[in-house]
A and B are shown apart, each in its own frame.
Chain A
Amino acid sequence: MADVAIKEVHKHYGAVEALKGIDIEIDTGEFVALVGPSGCGKTTLLRMIAGLEDITAGDIEIAGRVVNDLQPKARDIAMVFQNYALYPHMKVKDNMSFSMQLAGAPKDEIKQKVEEAARILNLSDYLERFPRELSGGQRQRVAMGRAIVRNPKVFLFDEPLSNLDAKLRVSMRAEIKSLHQRLGTTAVYVTHDQIEAMTMADKIVVMSNGRVEQIGTPLELYDEPQNLFVAAFIGSPSMNLLDAKVVDGGFQVADQPLIASGPTDWLDNGRDVVVGVRPDNFALRETGLAIDVTVTEPTGAETQVAGHIAGTPVTCLFRERVEGRYGDVLKVVPNGPLHVFDKLTGQRLGTAQAASVN
């Protein structure tokens, strides 16, 4: 059963249409990431689930109950805010138990719940401190503790890791994920960082410009992006997108040698398409597409080569060591799936296999 259902939801700010009809179903216990560039409406949508923003049109249901007109406190949700939103005048234990205090829970129950959450989050030694006396990572954990203590139906996360340094972010990522697996509570997680979404989520909702571009598991989005936006957004470094024409035996990019592929009879010859190739789906050859190298970045295990093919910027990732400086020309052929998109609509047409699979 869907724990959270978002049905044809719209949001207008005056003449501005921030959300243009959103439909998402989130199953019980699922960890769903809302991901997209800033301004795509993901935070607005989360705040609407929380009850901090009105819904212009459509319905939001939590546990089968339409919550459109319910106050946040009546929705059985807990939220972790971007800047933690800890009350600076309360000790850690009071921050965590504030919701229970407001609800008038008995003292010993509060104490027990706070201690339990503190144990899960390694905060037991910090309960008597004020938020200011904690590090960024500890504050983040208090913010999560506040959510856990509630034992809500749904956790809402609003870019909770964006204020942490890179190293801490990676470890908190793992902590949140394991926490979710332990508690099994439905979670909606907003982020602009597709790696966060890929690594943490059971299901990703890619949004842009107030619309849902695609919903799927991380690997579905990676393997079969439904349009150019998702193709470019998911994966790092992002997919290379080359303008091409469908010809006999493959795809023709400008005056470059033919990209040979398996059967393309499902495409009309001469059709203008965009061919997407993941950076790690290239092999070095004597002949092939010519890359005018801009820069090579060796990382030890891999070498990342940035340059241009027929004027289009591309990035290739090789599992071998590659020499190349600015001005050099490397020859490559795709050796993995070729994602074919319609040039006009940007929609996915299908996947062709490159001929030179090794």
Chain B
Amino acid sequence: MNARYVPWLFLMPAIVIYGFFGAIPIFQTFYISMTDQVGVAAPGEFIGLNNYIDLLSDDYFLNSLKNTGIWVACFLFVPNTLAIIIALLVKRTFWGASLIKTVFFMPLALSFAIVGVIWAWIYEPGVGLLDQLLTLVGLDFLIVEWLGPHAGNFSVIAAAAWRQVAFATVVFLAGLSAIPQELIEAAKVDGGTRRQIFFRVTLPLLKPATTIAVSSALIQALLATEIVLTMTRGGPFGTTEVVGYRMYMETFWNYKFGYGASIGVVVTLMTATLVVPYVRRMAKAQEREWG
């Protein structure tokens, strides 16, 4: 057999599987988003970009877009900053270090849906863990309606961040252990204070870990759906609705498959334009520094 075709033969299983479960559904979604399909009984009619035009004036969608924006902003900074701090603290070996690490990693074993259920209990007014704790330490004036219209979106984000911190901590711990100790020592001899060493040596050298943690945070924030479903179902008054949840509602509750698909396409494009250039830029820098 011609040597030119042999590699394709070996790649065929992967191409077939990816094609069936990846590429074809994506293209199909693009197509469906340009139809007025309702339900799954019959294909809809081609209506061009009408769904997208409707989205621009759909207050529900625009509201969810705003909430997703808040998700992205919070998710980029809060879990990753916390994770770096925790990773720096538990990096060193001390008595009980592995126990503490386990505690921090545990949320990773839970899906976002379960995280939602757990935190819905924690936020339960009056009897929930959070309210009881605050009452116990005399900070009960801080208590608000956690899943109410004002705090709701942030409370859901905080619950999801709890799990994201666990993920990012694992990533940053691995990243920290990949930094040669000699470099930190060289920076000490060069006269760096702890702060200078962190910002000018450690943090830049965490680039591979940061790339993973940041792109994961972006993707999780843009796609968040299950946790909203199990915690608030978008309420009250849509204050916790995000685009993923909107897509789910339009598609599977309102059976507007075409319209739901167009939201899906918007999410995909947002993810691609935010994540892909970032990952490429970081990969290039890493190539230059580490080879």
Contact = CB atoms under 8 A, between A and B. Distances in A.
Interface residues on A, range: 20 to 34
Contact of A87 (B189, B196, B201, B288): B201
Nearest to B288: A130
B277 interface: no
10 contacts: A71-B188, A72-B191, A78-B189, A85-B185, A87-B204, A98-B200, A102-B192, A103-B191, A132-B288, A132-B290
Contact of B188 (A72, A82, A103): A72
B59 interface: no
A98 B193 CA distance: 12
A203 to B, nearest CB: 23
Contact of A89 (B192, B193, B196, B205): B205
Interface string B254-290: 0000000000000000000000000000000100111
Contacts of B205: 87-89
Residue from B189, B207, B285, B289 whose CB has the most chain A CB atoms within 10 Å: B189
Given A102-B196, A130-B289, A83 B180 contact: yes
B178 to A, nearest CB: 11
A333 interface: no
Contacts, number: 68
Interface of B: 180, 182-183, 185-193, 196, 200-201, 204-205, 207, 285, 288-291
Nearest to B192: A102
A73 B190 contact: yes
Contact of B204 (A51, A83, A89): A89
Given A89-B204, A132-B290, A52 B188 contact: yes
B289 A99 contact: no
A85 B182 contact: yes
B273 to A, nearest CB: 26
A87 B184 CA distance: 9
User: What are the 4 tightest A-B residue pairs by CB atom distance, in nearest-first order?
Assistant: A73-B191, A85-B186, A99-B190, A85-B182
A72 B185 CA distance: 9
B291 A132 contact: yes
Nearest to A88: B289
Interface string A126-159: 0000101000000000000010001000000000
B175 to A, nearest CB: 13
Interface of A: 50-52, 71-73, 77-79, 81-83, 85, 87-89, 98-99, 102-103, 130, 132, 146, 150
Nearest to A101: B200
A132 B289 CA distance: 6
Contacts of B188: 51-52, 71-73
B185 A98 contact: no
A76 B207 CA distance: 31
A157 to B, nearest CB: 12
A102 B189 contact: no
A143 B187 CA distance: 12
B183 A85 contact: yes
Contacts of A79: 185-186, 189
A103 B192 CA distance: 8
Contacts of A89: 204-205, 207, 285, 289
A79 B187 CA distance: 10
A81 B189 CA distance: 11
Contacts of B204: 87, 89
Given A89-B205, A89-B207, A98 B187 contact: yes
A87 B205 CA distance: 9
A73 B285 CA distance: 30
Contact of B190 (A51, A88, A98): A98
A78 B187 CA distance: 11
A38 B204 CA distance: 34
A52 B190 CA distance: 12
A52 to B, nearest CB: 5
Contacts of B207: 89
B203 to A, nearest CB: 10
B206 to A, nearest CB: 10
A102 B186 contact: no
A99 B185 contact: no
Contact of A85 (B180, B200, B288): B180
A73 B291 contact: no
A349 to B, nearest CB: 44
A94 B235 CA distance: 53
Given A79-B185, A79-B189, 7 more contacts: A73-B189, A81-B186, A83-B182, A85-B180, A87-B183, A99-B190, A150-B190
A88 B117 CA distance: 45
A77 B188 CA distance: 11
A98 B184 CA distance: 13
A150 B190 CA distance: 8
A263 to B, nearest CB: 55
